[in-house]
Structure 1
């Protein structure tokens, strides 16, 4: 009779899977290797997950769930927009270091061998964040904290793109090298500089009205 695995053991199995999928992608990752590293048989793994794809999706949901919980701490605050933005940037930096394999899993469904999962997860992953970002930008406009000639939904999209690319820059090889090309070899080791310069960029975007821009002829 199969002994039921504890929640702790199931979490360990998922973490093992996340590490393997993050390194090799869903197509190249080997379930036999994952089971061996987790200290179980393949048969036991398949008692809990129908097949490799179902296991991959469970790993993906775990990684995205942690990401969502980290951002929720900041999203649900009542801070001013730029204060909230600073907290989110710092959360991304911390999360990217603590859970680099989770970020790599997220990156998998944006391109490469995991892109077939995009239609399944894009709406699920992004809808909550898009709604909240749009909401706090709308509130900032209403309160007079930022310029009022912007489209909240588009600005929410642009803002999220910045944070997403920042995550990838800390964890994903191509984006790490890209950041070094643009910003210098040591930029990802200087958290305060990244926070400071990104906040300047955002502050200009949110507060500098077109009527105030003067171009020299």
Structure 2
């Protein structure tokens, strides 16, 4: 494993020690936010000295970005389960939504870090993140849409770039609505508490909304 946000020393320590650092850091940043999270406290929770922490990461910013990068890589690996080149666009999009919900429920703190990095006051940190992870999602959605267009499954006047952008944003907002109390509250205001708590309902309604925008119906 390697990253430009941590040293080779960190890459060489045992997986258990790395996981302890990841767990402590992700929990601290997700719970307290970037500014309030304390690197000394993170080191204590991880069971390492502050000297060791700084031999692994040059700064708190590098530690934070390493956690965000890890989350994006985990999500990318999870998206492999979507098998974007197999089945109809309805089947593929349903898998994308279900994998997203499953990932969000399994890694809620990771999603909270992604929400943090999307705010304006994290601009300098965002600029240091590699665009590779985002490009992976962009390429996946474009590939799904182009294949569906070639098969005649979606409207012929669909702009692939625009459709990919809005589908990605719908999926991201679903993630935020399942992990951020603020966005959960907004979802409950719009959909009601019962519907918001019903994951299957959310999957079906999200799929239906996206498909109708593409000129298809999930049951067709």
TM-score, scaled relative to structure 2: 0.87
**Mapped partners of 1:199, 1:51: distance in 2:** 41
**Does residue 1:97 correspond to 2:105, yes or no?**
yes
CA shift in 2, pair 1:122/1:149, >3 Å:
farther
Q: CA deviation at 1:128?
A: 1.4
> Which residue, out of 62, 70, 83, partners 1:62?
70
Q: CA deviation at 1:187?
A: 2.7
In the other structure, the counterpart of 2:3 is none
> Which residue, out of 14, 17, 20, partners 1:9?
17
Matched residue of 1:73: which SS? helix
Matches within 5 A, 1:1-217: 5-111=13-119, 113-121=121-129, 123-207=131-215
Structure exhibiting the larger radius of gyration computed from Cα positions: 1
Unpaired runs of at least 5, structure 1: 209-217
Matched residue of 1:207: which SS? coil
CA shift in 2, pair 1:51/1:120, >3 Å:
closer
Q: CA deviation at 1:113?
A: 4.0
TM-score, scaled relative to structure 1: 0.88
Q: CA deviation at 1:121?
A: 2.8
Higher mean C-alpha deviation, range 52-61 or range 82-91 = 52-61
Higher mean C-alpha deviation, range 88-97 or range 75-84 = 75-84
Q: Which runs of 4+ in 1 moved over 3 A?
A: none
Contact 2:73 2:133 (8 Å CA) reproduced: no
- CA displacement 1:150-207 (0-9 Å, x = unmatched): 1011000010010000000000121111101110113332011111212221221112
Matched residue of 2:18: which SS? helix
In the other structure, the counterpart of 2:6 is none
Matched residue of 1:68: which SS? helix
**Mapped partners of 2:166, 2:140: distance in 1:** 14
**Mapped partners of 2:59, 2:129: distance in 1:** 19
Tell me the number of residue pairs that the alignment of Structure 1 and Structure 2 aligns.
206
Q: CA deviation at 1:115?
A: 3.3
